[in-house]
């Protein structure tokens, strides 16, 4: 074999090794970073919705009763049960990001925020390119990849006994 082919083979091996190390590092870092990145905008919004413990702010009620409209089939329609929807949204904007940050029920929380993003898209159709696309992509990424090793879900899964596993047969 020529020395040039050997050096190319060595360079290719070095590149493969570097890519493997990058992948290992990303498997640890990407899931919690995705969880934080998706949680923050919803949590920030959720914190503005309250005016004391379990009391919605007047601004939140005003927005849901008067400002927010569904944009479907070329028309604008008022939200059904706006006060209840405001309360549900305010709770979800606190609870779902908290679950994501802890890495607990992660895929369910990400799916909930994906559904919220879809509804927000119907209320603010012009926000797709600026916000909604990124929120949806992060939520789907979390659903696909899972919570990662730095999460309560991971610790629960590690401690779970599965039928047929060596721990279950003891």
Q: What digits encode the pLDDT tens for the residues 21-43?
A: 999 998 999 999 999 999 999 99
What does the domain layout of the chain look like in residue ranges?
A: 29-158
Task: Report percent pLDDT > 70 for the chain.
Answer: 89
Residue 11 confidence (pLDDT): 82
Whole-model pTM: value is 0.83
Lowest-pLDDT choice from 6-10, 19-23, 108-112, 163-167: 163-167
CA distance 116 to 14: 44
Arithmetic mean of pLDDT, 6-29: 85
Question: Residue 170 pLDDT more than 50?
Answer: no
Q: Which of 91-100, 145-154, 159-168 has the lowest mean pLDDT?
A: 159-168
Query: What's the confidence (pLDDT) of residue 13?
Result: 86
**HSE-up of 104 (CA within 13 Å, CB side)?**
6
């Amino acid at each position: 074999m020529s020395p040039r082919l050997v050096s190319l083979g060595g360079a290719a091996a070095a590149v493969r090794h570097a890519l493997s190390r990058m992948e290992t590092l990303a498997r640890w870092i990407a899931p919690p970073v995705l969880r934080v990145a998706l949680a923050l905008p919803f949590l920030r919004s959720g914190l503005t919705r309250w005016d004391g413990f379990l009391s919605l702010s007047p601004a939140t009620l005003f927005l849901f009763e008067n400002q927010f409209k569904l944009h479907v089939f070329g028309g604008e329609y008022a939200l059904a049960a706006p006060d209840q929807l405001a309360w549900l949204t305010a709770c979800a904007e606190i609870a779902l990001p908290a679950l994501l940050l802890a890495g607990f029920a992660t895929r369910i929380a990400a799916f909930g925020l994906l559904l919220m993003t879809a509804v927000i898209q119907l209320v603010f159709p012009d926000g797709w390119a600026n916000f909604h696309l990124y929120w949806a992509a992060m939520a789907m990424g979390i659903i696909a990849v899972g919570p990662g090793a730095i999460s309560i879900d991971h610790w629960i899964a590690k401690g779970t006994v599965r039928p047929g596993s060596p721990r279950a047969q003891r």
